[in-house]
Amino acid sequence: MKSNLIRISLALLLAVALGGCKAVPTVPSVDIERYMGLWYQISAYETSFNQGLVGVTAEYTLLADGSVQVYNKGTLNTLDGELDEILGNAVVVDTKTNAKLKVSFPGVPNFPWANYLIVILDAENYQYAVVSDPLRYTLFVLSRTPQMDAELYGEILQQLRVAGFNTDRLIVTEQPVF
């Protein structure tokens, strides 16, 4: 009985918390096959799982069953620092748009909702994207190249501000220069 009360209380608390959040808009359509491949993290909100990481990349591979293998890696503090990597899995939650995915990693709490929301995407060339989550706890500006044109980055920041994101929290990620 006590455990049921705790579960109900937690569910109500979560419902209130989510109900008070402004919905996170996603892009109208994503071609999952074109989205696959290597992405460089240009900037991100700092979280416990990316603190101190530089040279951060995410590589997405479409698997035969339609799920996506997610390989995230970065190095600690310097580009030649200790490698920090994790392999996970994602599934498309919203098959109408393909813009909402549920990503899971071993040892990380697994929430029941889509936690990878594509909020901005270069729909023509798939050269940049911005990803968040329903609570706006994370925000990642991604690019197919290690550096992004300053003017383009500024335009993306403006779009994010209009969508209600706090761009002051974004930390630019050091990346190699080729």
E-assigned strand segments in 17-176:
37-45, 53-62, 68-76, 83-92, 100-104, 116-121, 128-132, 139-143, 170-172
- Give the residue from 76, 40, 37, 71 showing the smallest Cα distance to 56: 40
* C-alpha dihedral (92, 35, 27, 163), degrees to nearest 10: 110
Looking at 1.10.3720.10, 3.30.470.20, 3.30.160.270, 2.40.128.20, the CATH number of the domain 22-172 comes to 2.40.128.20
With a threshold of 0.85, does the pTM exceed it?
Answer: yes
Cβ atoms 81, 174 nearer than 8 A? no
Helix (H, G, I), strand (E, B) or coil at 123: coil
In three state form, how does the secondary structure of 86-98 look?
A: EEEEEEECCCCCC
Interval 135-175: pLDDT, tens: 999 999 999 999 999 999 999 999 999 999 999 999 999 99
The full set of domain ranges for the chain reads: 22-172
CA atoms within 13 A on the CB side of 95: 3
**Mean residue pLDDT across the chain:** 89
Cβ atoms 83, 73 nearer than 8 A? yes
Locate tokens 């310097």: which residue?
Answer: 78
Locate tokens 């996603």: which residue?
Answer: 26
Identify the sign of the CA torsion 7, 9, 15, 17: negative
Interval 90-136: pLDDT, tens: 999 999 999 999 999 998 888 788 999 999 999 999 999 999 999 99
67-78 average pLDDT score: 97
In percent, the amount of the chain with pLDDT more than 70 equals 88
DSSP conformational letter for 174: P
